[in-house]
């Protein structure tokens, strides 16, 4: 998993708290995208493991 802030550096590179806050707010879509990407990866791995394990006995 990686967060993607594009070409802009992270908040640690600035001493201005307003700039850091603005970058945090603007990067909100990065978190949503990363959560969705992670959910897809988890679902794919679960499906793969279920297929590998064969039928489930009840």
Q: What is the pLDDT of residues 1-58, one digit of tens each?
A: 455 555 555 545 557 788 877 877 777 777 778 888 899 999 999 999 999 987 777 6
pLDDT value at position 57? 72
pTM: 0.47
pLDDT value at position 8? 55
> How far, rounded to the nearest angstrom, does the alpha carbon of residue 14 sit from its chain's CA centroid?
24
The token duo for 4 is: 């993607």
pLDDT value at position 48? 92
pLDDT value at position 41? 93
pLDDT value at position 31? 75
Tell me the C-alpha distance between 52 and 40, whole Å: 18
């Amino acid at each position: 998993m990686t967060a993607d802030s594009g070409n802009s550096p992270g908040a640690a590179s600035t001493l201005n708290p307003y700039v850091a806050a603005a970058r945090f707010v603007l990067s909100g879509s990065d978190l949503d995208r990363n959560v969705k990407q992670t959910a897809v990866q988890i679902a794919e791995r679960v499906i793969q493991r279920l297929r590998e394990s064969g039928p489930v006995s009840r």
